[in-house]
Amino acid sequence: MSIPLGPIISPPGTRSFRDAGGLPADQWRALVGDETLVPTHCCFCGVQCGMYLRVREGKVFGVEPRNHDINRMRLCPKGLNAYQQVNHPDRLTAPLLRRSRTDDLRPASWEQVLDVTATEIQRIQAEHGRDAFGLLGGASLFSEKTYLVGKLARVALKTRHVDYNGRLCMVSAAGANKLSFGIDRAGNPFSDILLTDCLLIAGSNVGECFPVMTQYLWGARDRGAKLIVVDPRETSIARTADVHVALRSGTDSAFFNAVLHVVIRDGLADLDFIAAHTTGWAEVAQTVAAYPPARAAEICGIPAEQVEQVARIFATARNVMAWHARGIEHHTQGVENCLSVINLCVATGNIGKPGAGYGTITGQGNGQGGREHGQKSDMLPGGRSINDPAHRAQIAAIWGIDEAELPQAGTSMMEMVHQMSAGEIRGLVGICNNPFVSLPNHAVVKAGYDALEFHAQADFFLSETAANAHVVFPITTWAEDDGVMANAEARVVRHRKAQEPPPGVRTDTWVMCELAKRLGVGDKFAFTSSADVFEELRIASRGTVNDYFGITYDRLDETGGIAWPCPSTDHPGTPRLFEGGRTYHADGKVHLQTVEWHPPADPYDDDFAMTLTTGRTVAHFLSGNQTRRLGGLVEQTPRPWVEVHPSHGFTSGDPVRVVTRRGSAVFPALVTEAIRADTVFVPYHWPFPVAANVLTIDALDPRSKIPEYKVCACRLERAEHVVDTPAPPVPPGRTTYAASQVSRLDPLPPTSPQGRGTSER
Amino acid sequence: MGRTLFIDPGRCIGCQACVAGCRECDSHRGKSMIHLDYLEEGISAASMPTVCMHCEDPVAPCAQVCPAEAILVTPDGVVHDADKSRCIGCGNCVSACPMGVPKIDLAAKLQFKCNLCYDRTSAGLAPMCATVCPTGALFYGTMDELLADRPNVAVANTFDFDGTIVTTGVAVIVPRDRGDLPVPGGCGHEQPNVLGEPL
C-alpha cells in the first residue's frame, strides 16, 4: 500500500517525522482551512501531553495531536476527549446560591455570591476565630492559581487551614524525596527511560493511568531493557514484564528491603558511590539485614526466588531506573515505601546519570506544581517551610505584610474533614476538588461537610461536593485561561487560552481577587491576568530549591517546557538532578533513611480476611466529575466493578457485595486470573452508593498524611442485584443529562479483564 | 516500499486511544471504525485493536460481494468505505469480511468502515489511530521505519481462514515468543510475505 506523500511532510507517528522535528503549526493550519490550532497541553494526568485545540468561530470543537517532546503526537482516550468539556451542556454558567441546606441551589448574581461568601467568612471568623474558616485547593489548577490559593488563605483569610487534593496524590513520594535528596521532584526526565537497561515500575498501572508513558517503556524494551513490575494485579504492563512481583498490597517496603538485603549479601552494592555520596548507610544496611528473602516471601505472599531474581537484575544492569506511583504511596507507610525504593537506587549507584535514577509519576496534571507555591498546609511559595522564620520573613516581605501576621502550619485535607465534624472548622471554600468522591471513608467525609455552617465550592461542572454547597462559583476550564503546570518530570509547560469563557463564567483568579477585595486586602491581589500572578510567583520562588525565576511565558513558548530549578533567564533548566552525585542537602549527600515494614492500618481477621485495593481505569480521571460526563469515556467504562480471582466461585457479572469495617457496596464481578486470590480491586471514580471510598479507610501516613487507599481488610458476599451507577448532578434549569452521555441503565457487566467493554461493533 | 499500518498486539494496553482517535478523524467524525478486543478474557489483560486490514489478495472480500459496487479500492491499496450514494445497507460486506470490520448503521441503512483516514493519509499524514496510539501498537510507516524503531521484529500479512488465504495491506507484528509457530488466525512465516516489496 503506498500513499502519495508531499515533498516536505513525513507522516506523524513515524521515526522520520519525529527526527525532522514534526510538522510546524502553520502547516497544520493550511491543512484544516479556517480553523485555528492553539498549542496547549492536556488538562488531565501528570504526563501533560502536548495537543492542539481546534478552534473555529471562537469555539473549541476538536483536538489534533501535537508533536511535543513529551508525547510525540501520542494521546490517550482522556486526552482525545478532553476538549468536549469546554462547551459541554453541563457547564455551570451562572453562580448558584441557597440560604440553607434544605433549599435548592438557585442561580444568583456574581455580586450576591461573592458578598455572601465574604460576609460568611467574616461572620464565622469573628465568632469562632480565624482558623474556623478553611480553604481547599486542587492540583488540577494552574500553578498561578495554586499560588493564589495559598496567598488568599494566609493574607486575606489569615487562616492556617489551607490544603489541597494533591494531599491524596503524591505527598508520600514528595516527603521521601525531600528526606533523601532535599528536593521534591523526580530525578530524571522521561527521555532517560529510553537510555536505561532495567526499568522497575512499582505500584503503577502505567498502561491505564499514564498510557502515553508506555512509549518510553517500549522504547527501552526495544533496546533490550529488562522490565520489573511490582503490583498485586497483572496489568497490561506487568503482562509483558521480565519479572512480575504480584505481592500483597501493603507489603512493598518489606519486599524492597529484602531486595537490598540480597544486593548487600551478594556484594552487589556500589560501595564507592555510597561512601562518597551518602550518609546513613550503616543504619540502612543493619535494618535490611533483618529482611532475608524468606521473610519477605512470607510477608508479601510471593516466592523467595523472586526477591533474588529482582536483586540480581537490578544490581547487575548498567543503568537502572525506578518509577513508582500511588500503588506504593497510598499507604500508612507511603513515605517508607518510597524511601525503600530510593535506598535501592542509591545503594546500586543509580542516580544522577542518563538512564539511571528514580521518578514518581504524578497523578494530577499539576500534581507536581500544585504543591510548590504554597497551597499545601505546611508550605509557602517556592517550597519554603512555613515553620522556618527566615522563610516566613522572605515571603512576608514579598507579600507586604508583617511576618507575625502569617499563620502557622495547618492540618491536612483529611484531618480538616475531622475538624469540620468537631466544629473546629465551620466554613470552607473549595476550589477544583471533589472530596465527596475522592476522600476515603465516605460517611465521615459527608458528616464533616454537612456540619459546615457555610460551604462555597468553585468548579466548572456541578460536582457531587458542589451540589452539597451553599454557594457555587462557575469557573473556567483549562482551555479558557493562560497558565503553567509542572509535569511529572518537573518540566514547567505553558497552557494557552483557546476560547473566551461562556457568559457568566469567571476565572478562578478573578474570583479569588474579588474575595480578597471584599475582605479588605484588594491592594495585595491587584492581578488582572495569570501573567501578572506568574511574575509575582517567579519572584516569590527566587533563590529557593523550587526556583522558577528564570522561567517566563516567552521562554516556555520557545522551548516547549523548562524543568526547575531555573534560577536565571539564561539558565537552561535542570531536567536531570544529582549529576555528579550531588543532592540538594547542604552537605550535597543523599541522606539514606532506615525503613521498617509494618502491617497496614486495617487489621485482617476471620470476618475481614481479604485485601481491597483501589485505583484508576484508563477512561476516567480522579473523582470522575469531568470524565463521567463525556460520552466516549462513559461508553468505554460506564460503571465500576470488583475484580476477583476465579477461586471465589463467582461468575463475571454476578452482583458481589464488598464489605469493610466502614461500609459496603455492590459491584458486578469481573472474574480474572490477573489478580491475586487474596485481593480484590475496585476503581474509585464513581460516587455513593458505588463509591470505592465508601469502603476505604481514612488512616493516614504519619508523615505525609496521605490516606491508605491501597489496602484495607474486606470480605465478599453474594448480593441480589447490581446497584445502578448514579449520573452526575445536574445544574438548576436543566432536567436531563447531556445527549452525549450514554445510558447508565445498561445492566450488562463489564466484559474484559480491565472492566472495559469491548468497543462498539 | 509503501507506507502501511502495522499492528503490534504485544504493545497494546487496551486503552482505546485508537477508538477515541478514530472518532476524531474528519472522514467519519463521531464514529469509531476500530474494534478493541480482549484476547484472553478472564485470564489476562491482553488486547488488540482491529482495523480494516485493507485486503489485497483476493481483492477485498467486502468489495467483491457488494451488489451495489459501492466499495472502491483505490490504486494505492486503500479499501474505502461504501459510497453513501450507492450503498443499500444490505450487509453483504459485513458477512464477507473475515476480520469483522465493516459496520452497518441500521437507522441510516449505510455501511461504515475504516478508510485509512483518507483525509489525512492523502495529505501525507498518518491515520489518526496510529498517530495517537500511546504505545505504538498501531504504527504507520514503511517496513524500514518499523525496523528502525523495533529491530528484528517479524511481521505477517497473510492469513488463513480455514483454507481461504487472504493477503492484506495492513500487517501484524508476530509476537516474539511465537518463534516459528504460526500466528493464531494467520499463517506467519509459512506463507510468502510480500512486505519488503512495493505493495
- At the top level of CATH, the class of A187-360 is alpha beta
pLDDT exceeds 80 at position A7: no
Position A13 scores a pLDDT of 37
B106 has a chain A CB within 8 A of its CB: no
- Residue type at A408 in one-letter notation: Q
Residue A749 CB partners (closer than 8 Å, separation 6+): A641, A652, A653, A668, A669, A670, A722
Determine, yes or no, domain membership for B186.
no
Position A212 scores a pLDDT of 96
Position A727 scores a pLDDT of 86
Dist. CA A724–CA A718, nearest whole Å: 17
Dist. CA A709–CA A331, nearest whole Å: 7
Most confident of A337-351, B136-150, B157-171: A337-351
Q: Do A212 and B21 touch (CB under 8 A)?
A: no
Among A252-266, A642-656, B141-155, where is mean pLDDT lowest?
B141-155
User: What are A202-256's pLDDT values in tens digits?
Assistant: 999 999 999 999 999 999 998 899 999 999 999 999 988 999 999 999 999 999 9
Among A26-30, A311-315, A348-352, A467-471, where is mean pLDDT lowest?
A26-30
What is the torsional sign of CA B172, B173, B174, B175?
Answer: negative
Determine, yes or no, domain membership for B20.
yes
CB A629 within 8 A of CB A730: no
**How large is the ipTM?**
0.87
pLDDT exceeds 80 at position B196: no
Identify the band that residue B42 occupies on the pLDDT scale cut at 50, 70 and 90: confident
pLDDT exceeds 50 at position B7: yes
B30 has a chain A CB within 8 A of its CB: no
User: What are A696-727's pLDDT values in tens digits?
Assistant: 999 999 999 999 999 999 999 999 998 888 88
How many domains does chain B divide into? 1
Angle CA A201–A206–A211, to nearest 5: 145
Determine, yes or no, domain membership for B100.
yes
Residue A751 is nearest to which of B41, B139, B198, comparing CB atoms? B41
Helix (H, G, I), strand (E, B) or coil at A640: coil
pLDDT exceeds 80 at position A733: no
Position A33 scores a pLDDT of 61
- Residue type at A136 in one-letter notation: L
pLDDT exceeds 90 at position A262: yes
Position B197 scores a pLDDT of 33
CB A59 within 8 A of CB A87: yes
pLDDT more than 70, % of chain A = 92
Measured between CA atoms, how close is A349 to chain B, in angstroms?
Answer: 29
Cis, bond preceding B58 (omega within 30 deg of 0): yes
The CA dihedral of A63, A458, A422, A424, to the nearest 10 degrees, is 130
pLDDT more than 90, % of chain A = 87
Tell me, what CATH number does B139's domain have? 3.30.70.20
pLDDT exceeds 80 at position B67: yes
A664 has a chain B CB within 8 A of its CB: no
Chain A positions in Cβ-Cβ contact with residue B126 (cut-off 8 Å): 11-14, 17
Identify the band that residue A628 occupies on the pLDDT scale cut at 50, 70 and 90: very high
Residue pointed to by grid coordinates 477515541: B20
Q: Do B17 and A12 touch (CB under 8 A)?
A: no
End-to-end CA distance of chain A: 26
Chain A positions in Cβ-Cβ contact with residue B36 (cut-off 8 Å): 756, 758-759
Determine, yes or no, domain membership for B183.
no
Parallel/antiparallel/unpaired status of strands A471-474 and A454-459: parallel
The structural architecture, per CATH, of the domain A96-163+368-481+503-550 is 3-Layer(aba) Sandwich (3.40)
Average pLDDT estimate for A649-653: 94
Every domain of chain A and the residues it spans: 96-163+368-481+503-550, 187-360, 610-741
Position A759 scores a pLDDT of 35
Position A678 scores a pLDDT of 97
Residue B199 is nearest to which of A2, A74, A222, comparing CB atoms? A2
Angle CA A166–A51–B80, to nearest 5: 130
pLDDT exceeds 50 at position B186: no
* pLDDT, greater one: A20 or A606: A606
A5 has a chain B CB within 8 A of its CB: yes
Position A754 scores a pLDDT of 40
Nearest residue on chain B to A220, alpha-carbon basis: B150
What is the DSSP track for chain B? ---EEEE-GGG-----HHHHHHHH-GGGTT----EEEESSTTT---EEEE----EEETT-HHHHH-TT----B-TTS-BPPPPTTT-----HHHHH-TT---EEETTTTEEE-----HHHHTTTPPPHHHHH-TTSSEEEE-HHHHHHHSTT--EEEEEEETTEEEEEEEEEEPPGGGTTSPPTTS-GGGS---BTB--
Determine, yes or no, domain membership for B195.
no
Dist. CA A452–CA A462, nearest whole Å: 19
B134 has a chain A CB within 8 A of its CB: yes
Position B106 scores a pLDDT of 84
Position A470 scores a pLDDT of 98
Identify the band that residue A738 occupies on the pLDDT scale cut at 50, 70 and 90: low
Q: What is the pTM of this model?
A: 0.92
> Mean pLDDT, chain A, as a whole number?
92
Position B124 scores a pLDDT of 80
Chain B positions in Cβ-Cβ contact with residue A63 (cut-off 8 Å): 24
pLDDT exceeds 70 at position B131: yes
Identify the band that residue B125 occupies on the pLDDT scale cut at 50, 70 and 90: confident
Cell of residue A106, nine digits:
438557585
Range of the domain at B144: 4-175
**In sequence order, which ranges of A530-575 are alpha helices (DSSP H)?**
530-541, 553-559
Position B193 scores a pLDDT of 37
User: What are A517-554's pLDDT values in tens digits?
Assistant: 999 999 999 999 999 999 999 999 999 999 999 999 99
The structural architecture, per CATH, of the domain A610-741 is Beta Barrel (2.40)
